[in-house]
């Protein structure tokens, strides 16, 4: 029996060959059972279960063994507590070996129940190893800590140090791990190499590179670690800056390095040569590294770029300097500075400008910053490319920041030249006005800048501001005589646009009296403009003289303006009754053949009639109707043909043409006149019933008009001829006005009083009398006149709403002499009030009935604007197509209409048609519409993925120099998007930086948008994914 006991004890020493205390604990269970003979049968059963469990345990049949240990534990008698302790121990040990989920619970239960057991160390050590194998290192160290290493055998102790050290290492308790590895690294055991490696690795991580190096050097011939440690040895040399040792050690071993480490080792070798300033030797190792790398960034990109740069491979250097420049760092500043030089050496001045700007905006190296700032300003000046006035701004900044620099005089020289050549006049003006003392060059620049900024304001119809700056320019007029002369002209033109004709005349004459005026492009136009001022003042002799001078200066040029000047000369002679001369100029206007030809044909025909040449008159008027059927003079031409036949006593033909006026142009004012003439003809032919038809139409449909008044007289005469006075009285009563002869006289007298006040300019009194008239005679003969003149007075007084009510009363009546004027005035008020639907209604009607080309044009212009504001894009397109063929519109109205048309095409996805209009608009960029059009054109190309076209358009826009910086900035943000589409993060970043640095308005969203895009680029520009540099971990059993 004793022999069996000692055999069973071996089960306790599965991992411990001898452990005295442990044997005593288990043996005690046996001897206690021998001392209890009264319970011998039960004792032997329990002992047998325990024995069988030990036997199976030794055979590694842990499941079966665990069963018998459970049986052994089933007895609840206290007499067998020692044996049960051993059974508990084995039961837990089986659970560990069987990887059962409750293993740790059983171990903890054992430790709780038997805290002083001699089996504690063995069980904790086994549990720690089990968790180690399961890679549950944080739990493993808890059991290793409960293990008394002094109770372990030597082999177990080395295992304990390694596995506890490794577990500490894996949970980043490096100091505890280091102490554990230290205990066994220099002792001959199965863990010594691994312990040495991890000891060195911890020293490496803790930047104790010499200690790490000595550990790694011990492993160079180790079977497991020989392929791993060369990389770490190389790094240790690198971090200690032992570049010669690194090169001597790593170069011979590079070819035999593992694939995962070869690229990184090549980089370390390259870096060593780089820091030794042996850039030629570094380059092939960088290239070897790049062959296996997924990308580079930051410092390493800079070093690679610098090696290419030093070896004069500038194009190759650009690629890496661009990558290194992303972000805000000292490296980025250096990269940008050298990148700029590379760009200059490869002929890319635009790129150099951008890179110098980036380097100048960083503060890490003051010398680099200074030199970059100067070169940025200089290259900007040389490029003549300064959409935000960057050149002037940069030279000013350089002079201010570095006043004692040896380059300050040179900077000041270029600053003066920049002022003289800038096209960004708004910003330039702000800068030059800050300079208190100006030398002659700056004064000359000031004259130019003030003048051209004034022209920008003029184009925006800001005439008062333009005049103010033109006067500023004149105060420096001694430097450029031509600019001085032109300033006089444009002040005159601004005054003319503001209807200040006396001031306009004065400045036009100042212009013409300037010695340099004949050299000006505006010289001939000034004569034309003066002619118009006198023409509108009905001073026809003076006007004719100026128009004649204009024609003499224009020579044989056939333009809209020369054709118009001929027509006005014809009009001047016509008004002076010099019909022969008038015919000469109308004929010249016809020959030129521009948009005023229909007017010239009409006037020539009419003038021939005044000379008694009726057949020729009829011929020309018929030519007008045939050649220009849609002309605003066609209805009048047909009416005049009828009148001419009437003069020739060809009543049948006269009737035919008068009726043609009514049928072909039912909305024309000449319909009333034609009906009156038909009534008269039929009356004279004693065809009273026919005459009554036309007279009554006039009275009933056009009350309050002269034709209606004449027609009523004609009706009265017809009833008298028919001896039917009662019939006339009944007819008049039937009109609903019950006007008696006495009433009619009172009506006329009351109206005439009000009208005389109006004609004398006394609006306040005239409005009162018109109100009295309208109250007394709500259906009077002059109701329409009264409402219209009342409205005109109220409008002049600024009482727009009350005026609008009166205009609407005019418009509610049948068409009359005031309908066209009322529609025009009401439409203008509705537009001012932004009541676009009502404005559109007025202008639709006005377009239908207007006779004057200028009125039709105004109706169409405002219809386009109103429909655009109402987002009725189909109507915008339709009206704009009718409007834009006109060649006599003011440039600003053509621009506005084309802008609305382009936006309407965009809104309806008619991109090609939109682009056609945007191209026309973007020929100049001084107006806000044209500037936006330039941006939109580029944007349409971008959306169509035509990036090259979009880029070209943006640069073209920027080079034209617009005062509307918002759209320039938007265009540059779009340019950044183009670069991003091309995967060119550098150009995108620098473009956005330029916007952020140079755009002046912080509140309109531009800078915020640029910053957000730049931040997005930086977030996405992750450091290059290098060759694998992860740590190597080896877990030993």
Return d(Cα 540, Cα 531) in angstroms, integer.
9
Given a cut of 70, whether residue 36 has pLDDT beyond it is: no
Return d(Cα 581, Cα 585) in angstroms, integer.
7
* Cβ pair 44, 80 in contact under 8 A: no
Return d(Cα 241, Cα 1) in angstroms, integer.
73
Q: Output the CA–CA distances (angstroms, integers) from residue 956 to 18, 382, 923, in the order listed.
A: 93, 17, 10
Helix axes 873-883, 853-869, angle to 10 degrees: 160
Coil, helix or strand at residue 543: helix
Mean pLDDT of 74-102: 82
Pick from 242-251, 645-654, 806-815, 1023-1032: least confident: 1023-1032
* Cβ pair 414, 378 in contact under 8 A: yes
Alpha carbon of residue 678 to chain centroid: 66
Given a cut of 70, whether residue 921 has pLDDT beyond it is: yes
* Cβ pair 991, 958 in contact under 8 A: no
Sort residue 100 into left (φ over 0), alpha (ψ -120 to 50) or beta. Answer: beta
Contacts 24+ apart (CB under 8 A), 150-153: 151/19, 151/21, 151/121, 151/122, 152/16, 152/121, 152/125, 153/15, 153/16, 153/17, 153/18
Q: Of 184, 734, 723, whose CA–CA distance to 712 is shortest?
A: 734
Cβ-based burial of 468 (10 A; exposed 0-12, middle 13-18, buried ≥19): middle
Cβ-based burial of 151 (10 A; exposed 0-12, middle 13-18, buried ≥19): middle
Q: What are phi and psi of 54, to 5 degrees?
A: -65, -40
Given a cut of 50, whether residue 26 has pLDDT beyond it is: no
Cβ-based neighbour number of residue 503 at 10 Å: 16
Domain ranges of the chain: 922-1020
* Cβ pair 423, 396 in contact under 8 A: no
Predicted pLDDT at 25: 38
pLDDT bracket for residue 293 (50, 70, 90): confident
Q: Output the CA–CA distances (angstroms, integers) from residue 554 to 413, 534, 561, 891, 965, in the order listed.
A: 43, 20, 10, 21, 38
Mean pLDDT of 158-185: 95
* Cβ pair 492, 508 in contact under 8 A: yes
* Cβ pair 716, 700 in contact under 8 A: no
Predicted pLDDT at 777: 86
Q: Which residues contact 784 (CB under 8 A, 6 or more apart)?
A: 703, 704, 705, 810, 813, 816, 817, 818
pLDDT tens column, 605-629? 999 999 999 999 999 999 999 999 9
pLDDT tens column, 377-410? 999 999 877 788 888 889 999 999 999 999 988 9
Given a cut of 90, whether residue 573 has pLDDT beyond it is: yes
pLDDT tens column, 698-732? 988 887 778 888 999 999 999 888 888 788 888 88
Which two tokens mark 429?
């003006």
pLDDT tens column, 748-766? 777 888 888 888 888 889 9
Say which residue the tokens 């038997």 belong to: 114
pLDDT tens column, 964-1002? 889 999 999 999 999 999 988 888 988 998 899 888 888
Return d(Cα 53, Cα 56) in angstroms, integer.
5
Pick from 64-78, 659-673, 891-905: least confident: 64-78
Pick from 33-42, 115-124, 160-169, 330-339: least confident: 33-42
Predicted pLDDT at 1033: 53
Predicted pLDDT at 388: 82
Which two tokens mark 508?
């036009």
DSSP secondary structure code for residue 761 in this structure: T
pLDDT bracket for residue 441 (50, 70, 90): confident
Predicted pLDDT at 33: 39
**Which architecture does CATH list for 922-1020?**
Alpha Horseshoe (1.25)
Look over the chain and give the mean of its residue pLDDT values, rounded to a whole number. Answer: 88
Mean pLDDT of 848-855: 82
Q: What are phi and psi of 611, to 5 degrees?
A: -85, 5
pLDDT tens column, 776-811? 888 887 888 999 999 999 999 999 999 999 999 999
Return d(Cα 916, Cα 933) in angstroms, integer.
11
Given a cut of 60, whether residue 83 has pLDDT beyond it is: yes
Return d(Cα 981, Cα 945) in angstroms, integer.
9
pLDDT bracket for residue 1036 (50, 70, 90): low
Given a cut of 50, whether residue 37 has pLDDT beyond it is: no
Cβ-based neighbour number of residue 61 at 10 Å: 14
Predicted pLDDT at 620: 95
Cβ-based neighbour number of residue 529 at 10 Å: 21
Return d(Cα 200, Cα 340) in angstroms, integer.
45
Q: What percent of the chain is modeled with pLDDT above 90?
A: 65
Contacts 24+ apart (CB under 8 A), 745-754: 746/777, 747/777, 747/780, 747/781, 747/782, 748/781, 748/782, 750/776, 750/777, 750/780, 751/777, 751/780, 751/781, 751/782, 751/785, 751/786, 754/786, 754/789
* Cβ pair 657, 644 in contact under 8 A: no
Predicted pLDDT at 854: 82
* Cβ pair 125, 153 in contact under 8 A: no
Q: Of 309, 305, 302, whose CA–CA distance to 332 is shortest?
A: 302
């Amino acid at each position: 029996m004793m022999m069996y006991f000692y055999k069973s004890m071996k089960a306790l020493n599965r991992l411990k060959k001898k452990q005295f205390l442990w044997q005593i604990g288990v043996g005690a269970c046996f001897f206690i059972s021998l001392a209890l003979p009264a319970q011998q049968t039960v004792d032997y059963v329990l002992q047998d279960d325990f024995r069988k469990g030990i036997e199976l345990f030794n055979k590694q049949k842990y499941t079966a063994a665990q069963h018998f240990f459970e049986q052994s534990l089933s007895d609840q008698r206290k007499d067998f507590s020692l044996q049960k302790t051993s059974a508990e121990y084995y039961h837990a040990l089986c659970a560990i070996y069987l990887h059962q989920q409750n293993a740790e619970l059983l171990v903890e239960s054992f430790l709780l129940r038997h805290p002083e057991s001699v089996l504690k160390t063995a069980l904790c050590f086994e549990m720690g190893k089990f968790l180690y194998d399961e890679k549950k290192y944080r739990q493993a160290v808890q059991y290793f800590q409960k293990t008394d290493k002094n109770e372990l055998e030597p082999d177990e102790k080395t295992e304990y140090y390694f596995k506890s050290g490794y577990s500490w290492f894996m949970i980043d308790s490096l100091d505890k791990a280091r102490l554990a590895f230290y205990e066994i690294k220099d002792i001959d055991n199965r863990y010594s190499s691994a312990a040495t490696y991890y000891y060195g690795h911890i020293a490496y991580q803790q930047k104790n590179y010499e200690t790490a190096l000595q550990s790694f050097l011990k492993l160079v011939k180790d079977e497991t670690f020989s392929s791993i440690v060369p990389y770490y040895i190389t790094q240790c040399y690198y971090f200690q800056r032992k570049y010669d040792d690194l090169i001597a050690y790593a170069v011979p071993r590079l070819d035999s390095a593992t694939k995962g480490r070869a690229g990184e080792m090549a980089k370390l070798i390259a870096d060593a040569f780089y820091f030794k300033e042996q850039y030629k030797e570094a380059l092939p190792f960088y290239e070897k590294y790049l062959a296996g790398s997924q990308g580079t960034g930051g410092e390493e990109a800079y070093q690679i770029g610098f090696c290419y740069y030093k070896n004069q491979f500038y194009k190759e250097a650009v690629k890496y300097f661009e990558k290194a420049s992303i972000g805000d760092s000292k490296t980025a500043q250096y990269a940008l500075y050298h990148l700029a030089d590379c760009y200059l050496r490869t002929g890319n001045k635009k790129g150099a400008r951008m890179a110098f700007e980036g380097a100048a905006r960083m503060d890490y190296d003051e010398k680099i910053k200074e030199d970059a700032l100067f070169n940025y300003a200089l290259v900007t000046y040389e490029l003549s490319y300064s959409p935000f006035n960057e050149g002037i701004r940069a030279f000013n900044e350089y002079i201010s920041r570095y006043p004692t620099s040896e380059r300050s005089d040179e900077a000041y020289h270029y600053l003066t030249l920049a002022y003289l050549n800038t096209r960004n006049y708004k910003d330039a003006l702000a800068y030059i006005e800050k300079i208190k003392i100006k030398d002659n060059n700056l004064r000359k620049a000031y004259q130019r800048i003030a003048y051209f900024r004034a022209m920008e304001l003029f184009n925006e119809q800001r005439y008062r501001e333009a005049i103010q700056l033109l006067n500023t320019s004149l105060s420096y007029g001694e430097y450029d005589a031509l600019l001085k002369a032109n300033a006089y002209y444009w002040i005159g033109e601004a005054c003319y646009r503001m209807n200040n004709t006396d001031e306009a005349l004065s400045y036009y004459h100042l212009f013409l009296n300037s010695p340099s005026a004949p050299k000006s492009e505006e010289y001939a136009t000034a004569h034309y403009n003066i002619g118009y001022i006198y023409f509108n003042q009905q001073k026809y002799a003076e006007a004719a003289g100026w128009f004649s001078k204009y024609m003499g200066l224009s020579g044989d040029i056939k333009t809209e303006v020369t054709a118009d000047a001929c027509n006005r000369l014809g009009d001047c002679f016509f008004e002076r009754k010099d019909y022969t001369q008038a015919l000469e100029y109308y004929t010249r206007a016809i020959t030129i053949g521009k948009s005023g030809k229909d007017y010239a044909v009409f006037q020539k025909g009419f003038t021939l009639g005044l000379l008694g040449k009726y057949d020729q008159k009829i011929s020309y008027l018929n030519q007008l109707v045939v050649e220009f059927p849609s002309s605003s003079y066609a209805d009048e031409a047909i009416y005049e043909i009828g009148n001419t036949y009437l003069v020739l006593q060809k009543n049948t033909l006269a009737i035919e043409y008068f009726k043609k006026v009514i049928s072909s142009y039912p909305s024309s004012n000449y319909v009333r006149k034609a009906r009156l003439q038909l009534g008269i003809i039929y009356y004279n032919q004693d065809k009273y019933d026919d005459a009554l038809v036309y007279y009554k139409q006039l009275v009933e449909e056009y009350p309050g008009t002269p034709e209606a008044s004449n027609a009523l007289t004609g009706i009265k005469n017809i009833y008298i001829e028919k001896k039917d006075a009662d019939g006339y009285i009944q007819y008049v009563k039937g009109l609903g006005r019950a006007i008696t002869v006495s009433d009619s006289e009172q009506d006329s007298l009351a109206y005439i009083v009000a009208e005389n006040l109006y004609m004398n300019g006394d609006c306040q009194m005239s409005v009162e009398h018109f109100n009295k008239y309208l109250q007394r005679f709500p259906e009077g003969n002059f109701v329409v006149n009264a409402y219209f003149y009342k409205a005109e007075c109220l409008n002049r007084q600024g009482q727009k709403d009350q005026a609008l009510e009166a205009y609407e009363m005019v418009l509610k009546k049948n068409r009359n002499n005031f309908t066209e004027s009322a529609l025009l005035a009401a439409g203008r008020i509705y537009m001012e009030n932004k009541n676009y639907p009502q404005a559109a209604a007025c202008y639709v009607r006005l377009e239908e009935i207007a006779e004057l080309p200028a009125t039709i044009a105004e109706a169409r212009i405002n219809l386009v604007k109103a429909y655009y504001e109402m987002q009725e894009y189909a109507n915008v397109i339709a009206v704009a197509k009718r409007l834009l063929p006109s060649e006599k519109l003011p440039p600003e109205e053509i621009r506005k209409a084309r802008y609305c048309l382009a936006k309407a095409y965009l809104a309806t996805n008619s991109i090609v048609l939109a682009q056609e209009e945007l191209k026309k608009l973007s020929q100049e960029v001084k107006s806000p519409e044209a500037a936006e059009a330039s941006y939109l054109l580029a944007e349409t190309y971008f959306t169509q993925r035509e990036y090259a076209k979009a880029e070209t358009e943006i640069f073209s826009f920027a080079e034209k120099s617009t005062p509307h910086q918002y759209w320039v900035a938007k265009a540059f943000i779009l340019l950044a998007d183009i670069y991003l589409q091309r995967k060119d993060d550098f150009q995108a970043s620098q473009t956005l930086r330029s916007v952020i640095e140079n755009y002046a308005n912080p509140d309109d969203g531009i800078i915020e948008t640029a910053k957000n895009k730049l931040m997005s680029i930086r977030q996405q520009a992750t450091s290059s994914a290098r060759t694998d540099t992860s740590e190597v971990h080896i877990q030993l059993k």
